[in-house]
Amino acid sequence: MNGIALGIDVGGSGIKGAPVDLATGSLAAERLRVETPQPSTPEAVAEVVAQIVDHFAAALGDGAIGVTVPAVVTGGVVRTAANIDQSWIGTDADALFTGRLGRAVHLVNDADAAGVAEARFGAARSTKGLVVVTTLGTGIGTALLLDGRLVPNSELGHLEIDGYDAETRAASSARENEGLSWEDWAARLQRYYGAIEDLLWPALIVVGGGISKKADKFLPLLHLRAPIVAAQLRNEAGIIGAAVLADEERVSD
């Protein structure tokens, strides 16, 4: 493992990046945020990624580069597109970014990156057994980690529960759009996390996303077998996880 790797987190409104100290999981420099181009085509996003890489070139050296996208990624190819342009579907983004930058880039799902960060340096640090990390936002992103090892692209926000795609009922956006009280929203979360428990029997559930800053409003209303806790790394989780996964991918090659 090298000392520094660069993590870049691609979101619907902003693209954030920073070098990461791989020993501590802390950012090694102040992060840079650039507005997500509209339309957010692969080529347009690659230009912003290149801009961020150039900005941190001196700090990064020959360290690995990891990039998250809000999508299922298999073998470097993007299979879905959530909050980014539909032209991503079927794009070999690993090849696109590597060609644009002239160096290897490792592409990962954004929720998976956040989950790895929480498992290594955050709320799930050193937890044995199965950990489910969820990000509650516009939708529900999920990451599964077994004894700290990622099981990628779980997409458990799309479980069908009571005839609904779970994220349409239990995401943070559903609470806002429907004007739900914390109690009413917590009832939906109870149904969602209860279904996750019955399927997977996790040792720990971690709740991330911006709403985790208000975890005291809803987590105490949930009654589950597994402990359920707020994520610790917040907006830096995707950056940190992308950097860690990119470095580990390079070491394994």
What is the pLDDT confidence band of residue 2, given thresholds at 50, 70 and 90?
low
Domain CATH number, residue 22: 3.30.420.40
Task: Say yes or no: 136 and 88 in one domain.
Answer: no
In a domain, 114, yes or no: no
In a domain, 132, yes or no: yes
C-beta separation of 29 from 38 below 8 A: no
Query: Quick one: pLDDT at residue 1?
Result: 47
In a domain, 93, yes or no: yes
Question: Average pLDDT in the 3-30 region?
Answer: 96
Task: Write the pLDDT tens digit of every residue in 72-128.
Answer: 999 999 999 877 899 999 999 999 999 999 999 999 999 999 999 999 999 999 899
In a domain, 117, yes or no: no
Tokens of 69: 């996208």
Task: Say yes or no: 97 and 175 in one domain.
Answer: no
What is the dihedral angle through the alpha carbons of 194, 197, 202, 204, rounded to the nearest 10 degrees? 0
C-beta separation of 49 from 101 below 8 A: yes
Task: Say yes or no: 102 and 28 in one domain.
Answer: yes
Task: Say yes or no: 166 and 207 in one domain.
Answer: yes
Task: Say yes or no: 27 and 93 in one domain.
Answer: yes
In a domain, 226, yes or no: yes
Task: Say yes or no: 63 and 35 in one domain.
Answer: yes
What is the pLDDT of the chain when averaged over all its residues? 95
Query: Quick one: pLDDT at residue 83?
Result: 76
Task: Say yes or no: 9 and 104 in one domain.
Answer: yes
Residue that is written with structure tokens 């507005």 in the block: 35
CA dist 177 and 5 (Å) reads 38
In a domain, 17, yes or no: yes
Task: Say yes or no: 81 and 131 in one domain.
Answer: no
Task: Say yes or no: 92 and 132 in one domain.
Answer: no
The secondary structure of 97-130 as a DSSP string is: HHHHHTS--EEEEHHHHHHHHHHHHSTTTT--SE
Task: Say yes or no: 133 and 208 in one domain.
Answer: yes
In a domain, 29, yes or no: yes
Task: Say yes or no: 24 and 82 in one domain.
Answer: yes
Number of domains in the chain: 2
Domain residues for the domain of 191 are 123-232
What is the pLDDT confidence band of residue 213, given thresholds at 50, 70 and 90?
very high
Task: Write the pLDDT tens digit of every residue in 121-164.
Answer: 999 998 999 999 999 998 999 999 999 999 999 999 999 999 99
Task: Say yes or no: 35 and 82 in one domain.
Answer: yes
In a domain, 118, yes or no: no
